[in-house]
Amino acid sequence: MIYTHITYSPKDKDKQLGWAYNNVMKQTKDDDWVCFLDHDAMFTTINWYRQITDIVDKHPQIGLYTCMTNRIGCRYQLANVNKDNHDIKYHRIIGKKLQTEYNTQVDIITNRGLLSGVVILISKKTWNDVGGFLEKDGLLGVDNDIHRKCRDKNIGVGLMKGVYVYHWYRGDGDMSHLK
């Protein structure tokens, strides 16, 4: 089973994203997967869940995935789109195009630059093997740390080429969450 979560920390764990992710993972069964989605992101196709299930089934050597998107720090995750266009119809067309073109294709990114976690799809087994998510104050670095841990343990990390997520990510220039 793949569970999808838009996870945020409670007030007493303010902005401790790693703690929040670990809390969700502790509640899952050993064969489960969790797909963490940023609070300012959305899938752009109607059958994304079936697609990520097929990807997980087709690539058993991979324990951690991410996806393509429009606004992110990691260049290899950027789709060739207008990053300043926030028209959802536009992004749904891009999502369908990438899904049709790439469907379940995955690029192995284990030894590339560290992923940006707009989407983190991780198996419970991988989470156990790497010792969980980094628990620290703040929202940044949790994604890079889990990628690094997978790389260090020779666990495959994959980029789902046909899964495209729209990401607002400071679309209005507001950076207050970083303070």
Give the CATH number of the domain where residue 137 resides: 3.90.550.10
24 within domain boundaries: yes
Which pTM value belongs to this model? Answer: 0.92
Helix (H) or strand (E) holding 37: strand 33-37
Q: Which distant-in-sequence residues (6+ apart) come within 8 Å of 115 by Cβ? A: 66, 74, 77, 109, 143, 144, 147, 157, 159
Report the number of distinct structural domains present in the chain: 1
Q: Judge contact between 117 and 105, C-beta under 8 A.
A: no
Domain that holds residue 108: 2-170
pLDDT digits (tens, 9 = 90+) for 53-111: 999 999 999 999 999 999 888 999 999 999 899 999 999 999 999 999 999 999 999 99
Between 84 and 13, whose confidence is greater? 84
178 within domain boundaries: no
Q: What is the mean pLDDT of the chain?
A: 91
